[in-house]
Every structure is written in structure tokens, then in C-alpha cells.
Structure 1
Amino acid sequence: MRTPETVDINGAADLMKIHPKTVLVMINSGALPAARIRRAYVLMTKDVLDYIQQQIIHQTAERLAIKGRRIRTPDKRPRRTRRSPPNLEKYMKML
């Protein structure tokens, strides 16, 4: 199935997983480019996906830039070591 080149407000809201009224606010603020054709707004699917991608990049960069935050990488992950069973003979002598 091919993705349509244009979406309406509901289609953009579905792509971004937000309420259609929030999409309308974003259009009116200029965050999302759209054209009004009679009574309906039309958005390019590419523009909506580009907006999502920009937000992902920006928010990820902000999370990584937080000072003092430790980021675990798979190579630096602490290894769990297996504890050896207690030496029962030592405890038996104490009794």
C-alpha cells in the first residue's frame, strides 16, 4: 500500500498520534505548513514526516546533552557476576 502524498488534519493527527485540534494549532502557529482549500486544510505527508523527524532529532539531542547524565552503551554495561555459594564448612566449625 502506498502512502498518499497529501493528508488532511485527521490524517496528520493519525501520523503524529495527537489530537486533530493540536494539528490545527500547529498549522495556525506556522509549525506545520498547510494550504487551506475551501473549508479543509491539506498537508503534504512529507512535511508531516519531516516535522516528526526534526522533533525526534531535537529531543534526542536535548536528552543526550543533559549534564551529569550517564548514558549506558552496550559495551560499558556492568557485568553481573555470579556469587559463589557460601563456605558451609566454615560456618559448621563455628557451631
Structure 2
Amino acid sequence: MIDKKAIEHIAKLARLHITEDEAQEYSTQLAKALTHFEQISKINTAGIEPMVTPTEIEAYWREDVVKQDFTAEEMTGNAPDRAGNLFKVPPVV
């Protein structure tokens, strides 16, 4: 079980400020969550193949089609400042 002291230590590592009441509440909540994980770990999964998704999904592939909807001039037309076909931005140091 995760006690209040462990919660306070975790909070300190995460640089979080929690009250005594919050530490006690989080301890109780985490204990409940860990109980659920213990129940899940007891399930016999021998012979069951792992899945990528919880349901069987058929992969849908589409053809990649190269198309150019706009010209470079149209894409940079509304830019406040540009250099040729590029957006001009302030230098970053």
C-alpha cells in the first residue's frame, strides 16, 4: 500500500505542494487503483495473443496522390514579410 509518507515524497519530487488531507486522500485513491491492478493481474491470459486494438480493425490503405492545390506565391501571399517563396521571420538567437 502507498502510505501518506510515500505520497508526500512523490509530491516533493514533483515539486507539488499538497496538504495533509490531500496526501491522505491520494493514498486512499492510489490504494484502490492498485487493488484493481492486482485483480487484473490474476486473470489467466495464457494462450491469448496480444492485440494492437481492443477490437479487430481491418487496415484501410489509400493510394498516395501527389497534388498541388496552391502555388508558392498563393501560400505566401498573406505573409507580413517574405523572402522569395519563403516566410521571413525574425532571427532567433
Give the TM-score taking structure 1 as reference length: 0.30
Instruction: Give the number of the structure whose residues are more often helix, by fraction.
Output: 1
Answer 1 or 2: higher relative contact order, Cα 8 Å, separation at least 6: 1
Structure with more of its chain in strand, by fraction:
1
Task: Give me the TM-score of the superposition, normalised by structure 2.
Answer: 0.30
